[in-house]
Chain A
Amino acid sequence: MSEPMAILTDVTRCTGCEKCVDACKVEYELGDDRPWRGQGAIDDLSASRFTTIVNKPGNHHVRQQCRHCLEPACASACIVGALQKTPEGPVIYDAKKCMGCRYCLMACPFDIPRYDWDRAVPYVRKCTMCYDRLKEGGIPACVEACPEEATIFGTRAEMLALAKQRLSDNPDLYVQQVYGEHEVGGTSVLMIASIPLGFLAWKDNLGNQPLPDLTWASLKKVPGIALGVGGLMTGVYWIVGRRMKLAAESAEACNTIEPTDPADNQQQESESNHDQ
């Protein structure tokens, strides 16, 4: 299975029964919820809850889980490559590589990764779209558990087409947007709903630019800066050295010792700081 897969969640069909949450808890042996500061409520996402239902006024039940971005900020931020985007779609986590810097928690635009704060040997915890089940040809546990087919699984192209079909079949019911089609470069979890879902991210409108592009804009300059600064410093050293030598020679030629002009030196020094 190399075709990119995706989960489609239709919020209008969800009854909020939390069978997906239970299935996930069983699959990953997460146990009871462990309340911890930083959680607004017991059923917020946590190290012991990879997916949850956010209840909104008007009987809307919105499932929250890792969005498995096509160009994930967390994976690009990861210093050791513990978080990786797989060709199948899931963004997976390798606990053996992780060193626990938590830059992924800082970088995620959807506020997804959670940390084992109460443990002496903590790991990053988040949904992995049941990558192990996928490899064996299965489907994610949450999708399997959903009694209403509110959350379904298939190739991303299929899911996107289906979502758009539903939007056009029922234009009055749905907000005319497939959440995850373009946001931050697209995600492998698509959502359609009758209410705006902007509240699921840190910002209502994240834009369509993949976040890793922002850091790459600065990172790609690194070799240039390294060579530039190195060249500049060597050059300045050579010029300064030569000028001093010439000054010494001319001083010797004149057989007089001129005191160095402090104003000149000071100017040179402030220049140096410009250059750096």
Chain B
Amino acid sequence: MTSRLTILKSILWIIVGIWAMVTVARFTHGLGATTNLSDVTPWGLWIGFDVMAGVALAAGGFVLAATVYIFGLERYRPFVRPAILTAFLGYIAVAVGLLYDLGLPWNIWHPMINWQHHSVLFEVAMCVMLYLSVLALEFAPTILENSLFDRPLFRRILAVLKKVTLPLVVAGIILSTLHQSSLGSLFLIAPHRLHPLWYSPIIYLLFFVSAVGLGLMMVTLESLLSGYFFKHKVNTKLLSGLGLAASVVLGIYVAIRVGDMAIRGVLGGAFEASWMSTLFWFELCVCAVIPAILLAIPRIRRSIAGLGLCSGMTVFGMVMYRIDVCIVAFARPEGFSYFPHWTEFAVSLGIVAAAVLVFIFFVERLKVYEHPMDQAEIPTIGPSFDPVTVRSLVPAAVTAPRRYSLLFIVGASLAIAFLPQQAVLGTKPHYTPVAATRTIDGFVIENEKVGEPNTIGFIEDVGAIPAGAMVTPLIIIDGNRDGRLTLFNHQGHEDRLGGEESCASCHHLNMPMDRASSCHECHRDMYEPTLIFNHESHVRGTDGNQGCVKCHDPSSAVKSYETATACRECHAESIMSGPVIADPEDRWNSAVGYMAAMHGLCRQCHINKAEMTPGEFPVSLQDCRACHNANHTVIFSEMIPRVKNSESQ
């Protein structure tokens, strides 16, 4: 029989399987291999969702504890245990999420010995750590009540815990108040980066009030969901009380948020037509405005659908608020964006899935809810025998784990199949492919003063070409098209170096059928060396497998570059004689990066000329400025319409 709960558990186990494999990749190859984080986005999904939103979602624990133990509203007692359990598991999930995000997770205990009273994060860490302990003690009675612990020692512990309930609750409220608000204070230090619609000097108050509202709605949503999955009746009368309270709290949140902006005079920004203002209004309406209004209507807050809608909206909206502050509204330079890698989602979801599984485990075995559980869901212990079917020979306690471990393996296999290469093999250099050279029509006026760079101009910029100017296409050396370029007078160099005879001094290697291959054809990456030897085409060109011995010595067992015939044996005509740079004897299976090639070639020649024939060439020829002069700073975007995509001569 597949019930709702079985389906839910099956899905959760698949997610946990995926999570497990990503975990291996994360801790073997580091953050860069498994996330899209970078120096401009140092905090991503794992902080925004797992930590920021995770702590806020677990706020129901202290809110309900306060309601029942401090304010004496006894009728809400049925919600306390699930809320405390949610909070306990939620904070453990936060801690686990943090272990993934920290670069050096084995140092997570360092704050305990290096106290930094000036760091908000330190305060958050200490409060979270202490609150986790408080939650453990608050939840402990639920476990100790189990018949398993019916021993004198445990009974005594239980009695002590029950006696200190009130101090624990008060401590929990204090710690929660402090760290729920301080999560907002974390962003006070970044007024230069957080968008003005989210930055506020009282952001800690906003985080706290929104956490209280979210806590109430999270308890509501959880009751509805457990009612659905465990098939017990939902007490809408009690939930409507929580709904009314949430309506008031969310209303206060909206009032503080908008009022604070109005007082500081930044509310105008919310009415500008921009993505950010749209996001602001969407987030505010979903997380607070609409739920607050709907929950104020008795008919809606007493219906399951109404409560479900409102709690869903608040949970979604408040999670969004945290993520907006932490990621979306947090400035990064233009042209950079961040969207989490799927592995980041896998970890976040995996932690949630594991927490839900543990929650279900406790609900099934301990007295978390007051209602008796659906007996069909509790696995029967001990084998039972049914001679009709074979399957019944195996007790439910064995079949269920068997089903779930299979699903776990399915999840794990899925993850392995789709893991990005860098997560499996480690990070690789970031490739920057080089584009073909382009030219622009220009002219060059030789500078008579030795040592000064020649004047370069563009034909479209001037009405008439000045007298004595050489009109020629200028090559734009700008392999990665980032706009930082050097203009190269190809004709001028050819003339100076001796006409067609001189090609070989720079074009040292030819691709097949080429007379003078362009630089980018081999130097294919801007910064990284790339392989240029195409083994496949050589196999085809030498009669398939029959051709191996044409290059590889038949006596050598290992067929590698080291044992192969030198390329020049067959392709002597591809290699120009007398190039400026060293003959690429050994290394010509890979070509150095484009930038290294350009610097290596041009600079070497310039240095040689300046040093060997000081009379003919100025000393400054070997300076960076010889090439990277004022032309370097031409605004490239203005040139683009005039650029010819054709290859150089």
* A residues whose Cβ falls under 8 Å from a Cβ of B: 15-18, 33-42, 45-46, 55-59, 73, 76-81, 97-103, 105-107, 109, 111, 113-123, 201-203, 206, 211-212, 214-219, 222, 225-226, 229-230, 233-234, 236-237, 240-241, 244, 265-266, 268-270, 272-274, 276
CB pair B71 A78 closer than 8 Å: no
13 extra interface residue pairs, beta carbon distance < 8 Å, beyond A46-B39, A230-B174:
A35-B528, A36-B32, A38-B336, A55-B484, A57-B635, A99-B102, A100-B102, A101-B101, A102-B43, A109-B192, A115-B103, A222-B182, A276-B66
A77 to B170, CA, bound (A): 29
A35 to B432, CA, bound (A): 9
Q: Which residue of A lies closest to B194 (CB)?
A: A106
Those of B35-63 within 8 Å (CB) of chain A:
36-43, 63
CB pair A233 B70 closer than 8 Å: yes
Interface size bracket, B side: 35 or more
Instruction: Give the most central of B111, B216, B630: most A CB within 10 Å.
Output: B111
Tell me which residues across on chain A come within 8 A of B482, comparing CB atoms.
40-41
A252 to B181, CA, bound (A): 44
Complex A-B: 24 CB contacts under 8 Å: A16-B624, A18-B624, A35-B526, A39-B39, A45-B39, A57-B635, A59-B630, A76-B119, A79-B122, A99-B107, A105-B42, A115-B31, A115-B39, A115-B103, A117-B37, A122-B103, A214-B191, A215-B189, A218-B120, A226-B178, A230-B171, A236-B70, A269-B245, A270-B244
CB pair B177 A229 closer than 8 Å: yes
CB pair A237 B166 closer than 8 Å: yes
Residue B28 CB within 8 A of the other chain: yes
Residue B335 CB within 8 A of the other chain: yes
CB pair B333 A35 closer than 8 Å: no
Tell me which residues across on chain B come within 8 A of A16, comparing CB atoms.
624, 628
CB pair A36 B252 closer than 8 Å: no
Residue B159 CB within 8 A of the other chain: no
Which one, A15, A46, A218, A269, contacts B241 given CB within 8 A?
Answer: A269
CB pair B527 A42 closer than 8 Å: yes
CB pair B116 A78 closer than 8 Å: yes
Which one, A58, A215, A240, contacts B633 given CB within 8 A?
Answer: A58
Tell me which residues across on chain A come within 8 A of B111, comparing CB atoms.
79-80, 99
Residue B270 CB within 8 A of the other chain: no
CB pair A273 B249 closer than 8 Å: yes
Closest approach, in angstroms, between the C-beta of B113 and any C-beta of chain A?
8
Residue B430 CB within 8 A of the other chain: yes
Tell me which residues across on chain B come within 8 A of A225, comparing CB atoms.
177-178, 181
CB pair B31 A106 closer than 8 Å: no
Q: Which residue of B lies closest to A274 (CB)?
A: B252
CB pair A240 B71 closer than 8 Å: yes
A231 to B566, CA, bound (A): 86
Those of B102-136 within 8 Å (CB) of chain A:
102-105, 107-108, 110-111, 114, 116-123, 125
A-B pairs with the 3 shortest C-beta distances?
A100-B103, A38-B38, A117-B32
Closest approach, in angstroms, between the C-beta of B420 and any C-beta of chain A?
13
Q: Which residue of A lies closest to B119 (CB)?
A: A79
Closest approach, in angstroms, between the C-beta of B198 and any C-beta of chain A?
14
Indicate whether A38 sits within 8 Å of B63 (C-beta atoms), given known contacts A15-B625, A236-B70: no
Residue B19 CB within 8 A of the other chain: no
Closest approach, in angstroms, between the C-beta of B98 and any C-beta of chain A?
8
CB pair B42 A211 closer than 8 Å: no
Closest approach, in angstroms, between the C-beta of B37 and any C-beta of chain A?
7
